[in-house]
């Protein structure tokens, strides 16, 4: 997935990838988790940069769902949002 390389190379205020991503291929849905549990403003800022990367790569065609969830990432991290990408990006 070319756009994941784009996301991976985005700038970071903390020089860390303060987020984790899980992917559901049946729905083209990515779940975003805050690896550092929003412990500081930098983590929040970095996650915003990453979410904007999805938005700009999809040319505004992604759907961002901010519905709260208690879900956690298997290695730690609180759920932030889900992003559904257009199927055309996977063809």
pLDDT tens digit string along 52-70? 999 999 999 999 999 999 9
pLDDT of residue 79: 93
User: Within 13 Å and on the Cβ side, how many CA atoms surround 12?
Assistant: 13
73: its two tokens = 């990432």
Mean pLDDT of the chain: 86
pTM of the model: 0.84
pLDDT of residue 40: 63
Which residues of the chain register pLDDT less than 70? 1, 37-41
Helices (H), 1-91: 2-8, 41-57
pLDDT of residue 18: 77
Residue 83 phi/psi, 5-degree rounding, is -130, 120
10 Å CB burial of residue 9 (0-12, 13-18, 19+) is exposed
């Amino acid at each position: 997935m070319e756009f994941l390389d784009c996301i991976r190379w985005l700038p970071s205020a903390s020089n860390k990838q303060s987020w984790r991503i899980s992917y559901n291929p049946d729905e083209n849905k990515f779940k975003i988790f805050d690896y550092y549990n929003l412990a500081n403003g930098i983590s929040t800022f970095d996650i915003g940069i990453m979410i904007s990367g999805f938005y700009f790569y999809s040319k505004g065609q992604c759907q961002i769902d901010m519905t709260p969830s208690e879900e956690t990432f298997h290695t730690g991290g609180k759920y932030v949002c889900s992003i559904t990408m257009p199927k055309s990006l996977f063809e």
